[in-house]
Amino acid sequence: MGQHMKRIGMKRSLTSNGFVTYSVRYQAERCDGCPLRGSCFKARGNRIIEVNHQLQHYKQKARELLTSEEGIKHRGRRCIEPEAVFGQTKYNKVYKRFRHLGKDKVNMDFAFFAIAFNIGKMCKKIISRS
C-alpha cells in the first residue's frame, strides 16, 4: 500500500529562542497511481516528509519515564503539590509577572518571593498553634 521513502537530505532549523534542530528529509519514490494519494497529500510530485530523530528519541524516553512505576507516582502527585502554590502566587498574591529582566534577576526576584511566601506560611502556623 504505502510507498518506500528515500532519504534526500537534512534540514537545519533555528527556533525563535535560538535552538538549532536537524530534520532528515525523506521523499516517496513514486506517488503516481497510489490509491492512498488523495488522503496522503495534494501537492504535485512525490510526498516529502521531515523527521526529527533526536526529538523522537526524547519523546520516547519521556514516554518511558512517564509510564514507569515511579513516573506514575510522580504524575499522581504533580496535580496536587505545586498547583496550590501557583494559584496562591497568581491570584491571591497578584504576582503574575516578574519585575526584573534577565535570568539572574528573575531567580533573585522569585527567591525573595518564595522566602516571603514561606515566612507567611510559618507565621500562620505559629498563630494557629497559639
- pLDDT at residue 53, rounded to an integer: 95
* Of the ranges 11-15, 71-75, 91-95, 98-102, the best mean pLDDT one: 11-15
Q: Is residue 73 in a domain? A: no
pTM of the model: 0.52
Selection from 54, 56, 59 nearest residue 67 by Cα:
59
Question: pLDDT tens across 31-60, in order?
Answer: 887 888 878 878 888 888 999 999 999 999
Is residue 122 domain-resident? yes
| pLDDT tens-digit map of 68-78 | 999 988 887 77
d(CA 125, CA 85): 16
Radius of gyration in angstroms for the set of CA atoms belonging to the chain, rounded to a whole number: 25
As a three-state string, the secondary structure of the chain is CCCCEEEEEEEEEECCCCCEEEEEEEEECCCCCCCCHHHHCCCCCCCEEEECHHHHHHHHHHHHHHHCHHHHHHHHHHCCHHHHHHHHHHHHCCCCCCCCCCHHHHHHHHHHHHHHHHHHHHHHHHHHHC
Residue 77 lies in a domain: no
In a domain, 124, yes or no: yes
Question: Number of structural domains, the chain?
Answer: 2
Please report whether residue 25 resides in a domain: yes
- Does the residue 121 lie in any domain? yes
What is the overall mean pLDDT for the chain?
Answer: 86
Residue 66 is assigned to a structural domain of this protein: no
Q: Is residue 63 part of a domain?
A: no
What domain range is 10 assigned to?
A: 5-52
